């Protein structure tokens, strides 16, 4: 038995929230994944040059972004090309000190990004050091880190989870916090930091890069696109890592539930899927499994649908199916659905306000503070949901949408509507709803071959970018529809992804979340098929993720369709 326990380094004694991994305890499958050799894009396997692309702008409001990032705005993006004969490669005898941090929620593949950075430093530089900041950005601010070694990293290779160094949701925001980050950078003599995170974390990475540049600190900052939600993407970043694995795990379960629904013939399964801001996961799972009913938040918002509209849409299909003899089915709902419904947003905003300035009394007199439309909506909700709407808020003072069991709410609302129709003879079937929430099950699975390879390349590329002195870029691996050998590698200026939002009277830079595009290829394909899926049973059961065999290297539908659309 070999224990790969964390050797805590750093100025602060680190209280780990668990021991390191015991590879000796691994399941056979976990073990079998440890030693697979990961393919690299061919450009990374040989000598390459890092070439600059033309100056960039911003996703919106370039003049404001230019003000917010005086040093970085207009940054050149970078692209790796095979080395020209006689060209100068990156100095292999250079010694780098790099820090890496995981930021935000778990996504399958994070450990491989770190492995990729580590292997790059081992293979292409000399006596470099890689520090893993523990517990997310707080680890940078508090200088809590562990020095990563071959032995330390080994048991995490191709494994799910973020537990190698763990993650956190703190942000480097205040002048004091930036100063703390600076102290750490100087103390550890860092040449660079790699921030692995979603839209917020990469915005933060960009601000940190700007800060270091402004302060004339040598530490560079490179981002990596992480989120199972799939809402951090653009032309240069075709997908965020983790989306592929998470969707396949959810789709396996949905497929199983579908076969069960079809076999049993008596249940409607309402499945809520993780993904608060955007409905990419729900859309991808629909494309993989062909459910009878799928609600896409972006469409609900675009069509300004009310909760009643959504309920009626579901109820109408259930009634039609019942006439065909089908009193069963599968319904997919995005976690953030109620966020997309204007009237619900309005109600939640009013509730936030009321709860911010006091509490609610049992007698319900507080309800008088609601506008009449909101009051009606509140009364429309089942009791259990009313309770959830009044639960304590998150640190930002918002209703915790993840705690609202939208799937149960919709079951109850549909049931009520069906009973009404039954009374007037418009529905003769029987309805029995089963609720599911698939979330945590998908964030830490063993990464698919795609995510394992993609993450390794992202990490390796981050190493290259830091080695070549770049800052304020996000690691970018493209041409993902081709074999790994043909993937392209580079870095995209983070400022080019940014727009501004007005908050508390100030402009704040933000990387806009990539929402489901109603004119995009994935949604259009879904929209062209959903009526058929609604009434005919076109269920597909993708089955469990395979690591070897004919399906082992499949990639998700969203990516294929988006790449196809780009190529066309």
Active site residue 191: no
Q: Is residue 545 marked as binding?
A: no
Residue 537 interacts with its own copies (CB under 8 A)?
A: yes
Question: With contact defined as beta carbons under 8 Å apart, do 243 and 516 qualify?
Answer: no
Residue 528 interacts with its own copies (CB under 8 A)?
A: no
Distance CA 258, CA 267 (A): 10
Site for its own copies, residues 23 to 42, rule: CB under 8 A = 25-30, 32-33
Q: Is residue 266 marked as binding?
A: yes
* Shortest Å distance, C-beta 439 to its own copies: 9
Q: Which is nearer to its own copies, 477 or 555 (CB)?
A: 555
Residue 197 interacts with its own copies (CB under 8 A)?
A: no
Distance CA 488, CA 484 (A): 9
Distances (CA, A) of 299 to 106, 455, 534: 27, 31, 17
Q: Which is nearer to its own copies, 332 or 465 (CB)?
A: 332
Residue 22 interacts with its own copies (CB under 8 A)?
A: yes
Q: Is residue 183 marked as binding?
A: no
Given 229, 244, 339, 451, the catalytic residue? 229
Residue 160 interacts with its own copies (CB under 8 A)?
A: yes
Which helix H or strand E contains 197, and what residues bound it? strand 192-197
Q: Which is nearer to its own copies, 171 or 233 (CB)?
A: 171
List of residues 6+ apart from 184 with CB closer than 8 A: 99, 140, 141, 143, 190
* Shortest Å distance, C-beta 295 to its own copies: 20
* Shortest Å distance, C-beta 17 to its own copies: 4
* Shortest Å distance, C-beta 266 to its own copies: 9
> For residues 440, 109, 130 and 188, what is the CA-based torsion angle, rounded to 10 degrees?
-40
* Shortest Å distance, C-beta 540 to its own copies: 5
CA 222 distance to own-chain centroid:
18
Distance CA 356, CA 5 (A): 45
Helices (H), 236-341: 243-264, 280-289, 297-302, 307-323
List of residues 6+ apart from 481 with CB closer than 8 A: 555, 559, 560, 563, 564, 567
Distance CA 196, CA 224 (A): 5
Choose, by CB under 8 A, the member of 126, 482, 536, 566 that binds its own copies. 536
* Shortest Å distance, C-beta 135 to its own copies: 8
Question: Each residue of 286-323: b (16+ CB within 10 Å) or e?
Answer: bbbbbbbbbbbbbbbbeeebbbeebbebbbebbbebbe
Of 244, 280, 275, residue with least CA distance to 521: 280
Residue 288 interacts with its own copies (CB under 8 A)?
A: yes
**Beta-carbon count within 10 A of 104 CB:** 20
Q: Which is nearer to its own copies, 60 or 265 (CB)?
A: 265
Distance CA 245, CA 389 (A): 31
Query: Residue 17: helix, strand or coil by DSSP?
Result: coil
User: 557-567 vs 280-289: helix axis angle to the nearest 10?
Assistant: 100
Only one of the segments 68-76, 300-308, 456-464, 531-539 lies at the binding site for its own copies (rule: CB under 8 A); that segment is 531-539
Long-range contacts of 399-402 (CB under 8 A, 24+ apart): 399/348, 399/351, 399/352, 401/276, 401/335, 401/336, 401/338, 401/339, 402/276, 402/335, 402/439
Choose, by CB under 8 A, the member of 161, 238, 297, 459 that binds its own copies. 161
Q: Is residue 409 marked as binding?
A: no
Q: Is residue 105 marked as binding?
A: yes
Residue 476 interacts with its own copies (CB under 8 A)?
A: no
Only one of the segments 86-94, 119-127, 441-449, 511-519 lies at the binding site for its own copies (rule: CB under 8 A); that segment is 441-449
Choose, by CB under 8 A, the member of 62, 74, 137, 445 that binds its own copies. 445
Query: Residue 92: helix, strand or coil by DSSP?
Result: coil
Q: Is residue 393 marked as binding?
A: no
Residue 519 interacts with its own copies (CB under 8 A)?
A: no
* Shortest Å distance, C-beta 193 to its own copies: 20
Distance CA 455, CA 430 (A): 47
Q: Is residue 276 marked as binding?
A: yes
Residue 84 interacts with its own copies (CB under 8 A)?
A: no
Only one of the segments 341-349, 409-417, 433-441, 555-563 lies at the binding site for its own copies (rule: CB under 8 A); that segment is 433-441
Question: With contact defined as beta carbons under 8 Å apart, do 500 and 509 qualify?
Answer: yes
Per-residue x/- marks for its own copies, 308-337, CB under 8 A? -----------------xxxx---------
Q: Which is nearer to its own copies, 221 or 287 (CB)?
A: 287
Residue 549 interacts with its own copies (CB under 8 A)?
A: yes
Q: Is residue 341 marked as binding?
A: no
Q: Which is nearer to its own copies, 74 or 522 (CB)?
A: 522
Handedness of CA 148, 151, 152, 157 (dihedral sign): positive
Residue 257 interacts with its own copies (CB under 8 A)?
A: yes
Q: Is residue 328 marked as binding?
A: no
* Shortest Å distance, C-beta 100 to its own copies: 15
> For residues 505, 510, 516 and 522, what is the CA-based torsion angle, rounded to 10 degrees?
160
* Shortest Å distance, C-beta 167 to its own copies: 7
Question: With contact defined as beta carbons under 8 Å apart, do 168 and 482 qualify?
Answer: no
Q: Is residue 229 marked as binding?
A: yes
Choose, by CB under 8 A, the member of 1, 17, 425, 503 that binds its own copies. 17
Q: Is residue 469 marked as binding?
A: no
User: Which residues contact its own copies by CB under 8 A?
Assistant: 15-19, 22, 25-30, 32-33, 106, 159-163, 166-167, 249, 252-253, 255-257, 259-260, 262-265, 267, 269, 288, 290, 325-328, 384, 434, 436, 440-446, 536-551, 554
Residues annotated as catalytic (active site), given as ranges: 229
């Amino acid at each position: 038995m070999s224990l790969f326990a964390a050797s805590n380094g750093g100025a602060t004694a680190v209280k780990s929230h668990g021991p390191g991994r015991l590879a000796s305890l691994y399941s056979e499958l976990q073990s079998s994944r440890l030693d697979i050799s990961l393919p690299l894009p061919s450009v990374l396997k040989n000598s390459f040059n890092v070439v600059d692309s033309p100056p960039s702008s911003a996703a919106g409001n370039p003049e404001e972004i230019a003000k917010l990032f005086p040093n970085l705005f207009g940054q050149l993006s970078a692209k790796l090309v095979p080395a020209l004969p006689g060209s100068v490669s990156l100095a292999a005898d250079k010694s780098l000190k790099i820090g890496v941090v995981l930021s935000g929620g778990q996504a399958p593949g994070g450990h491989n990004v770190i492995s990729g950075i580590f292997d790059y430093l081992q293979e292409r530089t000399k006596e470099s050091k890689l520090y893993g900041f523990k517990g997310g950005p707080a680890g940078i601010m508090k200088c809590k880190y562990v020095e990563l070694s071959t032995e330390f990293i080994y048991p995490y290779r191709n494994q799910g989870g973020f537990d190698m160094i763990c993650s956190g949701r703190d942000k480097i925001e205040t002048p004091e916090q930036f100063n703390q980050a600076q102290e750490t950078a100087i103390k550890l003599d860092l040449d660079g930091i790699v921030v692995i995170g979603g839209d917020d974390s990469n915005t933060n990475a960009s601000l940190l890069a700007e800060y270091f540049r402004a302060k004339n600190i040598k530490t560079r900052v490179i981002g990596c696109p992480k989120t199972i939600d799939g809402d951090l993407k653009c032309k240069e970043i075709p997908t965020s890592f983790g989306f592929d694995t998470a969707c396949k795990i959810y789709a396996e379960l949905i497929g199983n539930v579908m076969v069960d629904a079809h076999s049993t013939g008596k249940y409607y399964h309402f499945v809520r899927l993780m993904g608060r801001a955007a409905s990419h996961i729900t859309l991808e799972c629909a494309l993989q499994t062909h459910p009878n009913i799928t609600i896409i938040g972006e469409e609900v918002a675009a069509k300004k649908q009310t909760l009643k509209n959504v309920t009626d849409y579901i109820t109408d299909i259930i009634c039609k199916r019942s006439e065909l003899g089908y009193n069963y089915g599968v319904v997919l709902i995005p976690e953030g659905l109620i966020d997309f419904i204007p009237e619900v947003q309005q109600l939640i905003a009013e509730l936030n306000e009321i709860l911010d300035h006091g509490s609610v009394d049992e007698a319900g007199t507080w309800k008088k503070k609601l506008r009449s439309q909101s009051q009606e909506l509140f009364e429309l909700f089942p009791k259990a949901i009313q309770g959830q709407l009044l639960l304590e808020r998150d640190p930002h003072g918002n209703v915790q949408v993840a705690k609202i069991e939208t799937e149960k709410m919709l079951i109850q609302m549909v049931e009520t509507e069906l009973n009404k129709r039954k009374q007037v003879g418009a529905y003769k079937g029987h309805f029995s709803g089963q609720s599911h929430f698939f979330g945590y099950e998908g964030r830490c699975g063993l990464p698919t071959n795609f995510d394992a390879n993609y993450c390794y390349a992202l990490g390796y590329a981050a190493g290259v970018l830091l080695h070549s002195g770049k800052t304020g870029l996000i690691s970018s691996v493209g041409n993902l529809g081709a074999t790994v050998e043909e993937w392209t590698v580079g870095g995209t200026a983070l400022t080019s992804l940014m727009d501004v939002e007005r908050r508390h009277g100030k402009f704040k830079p933000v990387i806009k979340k990539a929402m489901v595009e109603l004119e995009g290829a994935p949604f259009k394909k879904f929209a062209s098929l959903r009526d058929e899926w609604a009434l005919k049973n076109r269920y597909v059961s993708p089955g469990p993720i395979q690591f070897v065999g004919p399906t082992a290297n499949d990639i998700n539908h969203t990516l294929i369709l988006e790449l196809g659309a780009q190529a066309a």
